[in-house]
Amino acid sequence: MGLLVDGQWQDRWYDTKKSSGRFQRQDASFRNSVEPSKQADASRYHLYVSLACPWAHRALILRQLKELQSLIDVTVVSPIMLEHGWEFGGDEGELDPLYAADYLHQLYTKAKSDYTGRVTVPVLWDKQAQQLVNNESADIVRMFNRAFNQQTGNRLDFYPAKLQTAIDAVNDWVYRDINNGVYKAGFATSQDAYQEAFDALFAALSRAEHLLQEQRFLTGDYLTEADWRLFTTLVRFDAVYVGHFKCNHRRIADYPALSNYLRSLYQLPGIAETVDLSHIKRHYYISHPMINPTQVVPIGPELDFSARHNRGDWTLQQVVLEHED
């Protein structure tokens, strides 16, 4: 684990000293966007992901749901992220098809030779301009949702205008207390910081559980990006966050609505193939020797996201609004 400083790679763990043991996530720095237009050509872009990463997972899911698979190629890095950061090839990783780079940080310095900051996935790369377009999954999800509709003819809208206020409000607490909350608990280096994150996390999971007892999706009757953003944390929770990140008040399996909801999303066409529990478990348990020095990966728990759920029979087309423009 490390970062770039003035374009030089340094192997360094997160610094939590200045924040009393609290993990503070840095903002992503490449934030360009692809706007919808008749000329927007998805095949100009390449997506670099880790199958272990919940943020990269959002982008992969939108790529599936928006039928961009044949247009936007994906490269999967090795799940094992150690002194060189994310690596191509190696243990279960794919080779970099564009530049034959060994490490992801080489793409960051190709884009900006004096880059300072963390080297994270996902990365959306512009093959034509040979530039890193964006490394913030929240932005990439929104681009995939709209920018290439003309090209694909897929008009499903996971961020529809009439639900944006509700989606933003849900995203806010789900990000703070759940998506990033598990990291705040897991990377805390003081008891107080851990306790604070732990309490907020389980309060937020109860809130989600209660909401989902009343309605099918987080913002009501329609499936939106808010659901997919929660999904990527839920699907990793029992396998990794309960043990490795010490988020062990309850498992997702212990929340009836959340666990059925998780299965209902997992069973939508194309979603199961974006979930790789082996990459997920091996990444976390091996890549954080500060938390798990033996790097032994637990074998359990037994999980079956394909089991029946009680959230009704519906298709994507019935629960996703269409773009109006």
Distance CA 319, CA 311 (A): 12
Figure out which of the listed residues 1, 4, 101, 262 binds ligand GSH, where binding follows CB under 6 A.
1
Phi, psi of 220 (to 5 degrees): 130, -125
- Is 7 within 8 Å of 113 (Cβ atoms)? yes
Q: Does 280 bind ligand GSH (CB under 6 A)?
A: no
136 in a known ligand binding site: yes
Pairing state between β 3-5 and 73-76: unpaired
Cβ 1 to ligand GSH, closest distance in Å?
A: 6
Considering the complex, state which of residue 122 and residue 181 has its C-beta at the smaller distance from ligand GSH. 122
Q: Does 137 bind ligand GSH (CB under 6 A)?
A: yes
- Active site residue: 14, 48, 53, 159, which one? 53
121 in a known ligand binding site: yes
Residue count, binding to ligand GSH (CB under 6 A): 14
Interface with ligand GSH by CB under 6 A: which range of 52-60, 108-116, 195-203, 223-231? 52-60
251 in a known ligand binding site: no
CA distances 263 to 25, 259, 271, 280, Å, are 29, 6, 11, 18
Considering the complex, state which of residue 117 and residue 323 has its C-beta at the smaller distance from ligand GSH. 117
Question: Which string of DSSP letters, residue by residue, matches 151-214?
Answer: HH---B-SS-GGGHHHHHHHHHHIIIIIIHHHHHHHT--SHHHHHHHHHHHHHHHHHHHHHHHH
Q: Interface residues for ligand GSH in 116-135 (CB under 6 A)?
A: 118-122, 135
Q: Does 136 bind ligand GSH (CB under 6 A)?
A: yes
Distance CA 250, CA 260 (A): 15
Which tokens hold the place of 121? 């996935």
- Round to the nearest angstrom and report the end-to-end CA distance of the chain: 44
Q: Catalytic site residue 183?
A: yes
174 in a known ligand binding site: no
| Contact string (CB under 6 A) for ligand GSH, positions 2-31, x = contact | --------------------------x---
CB atoms within 10 A of CB 90: 17
In a 10 Å sphere around its CB, with 0-12 CB exposed, 13-18 middle and 19+ buried, how is residue 214 labelled? exposed
Cβ 2 to ligand GSH, closest distance in Å?
A: 7
Figure out which of the listed residues 4, 49, 51, 53 binds ligand GSH, where binding follows CB under 6 A.
53
Q: Which residues bind ligand GSH (CB under 6 A)?
A: 1, 28, 53-55, 118-122, 135-138
Residue stretches of the annotated binding site for glutathione: 86, 118-121, 136-137
For the annotated catalytic residues, the residue numbers are: 53, 183
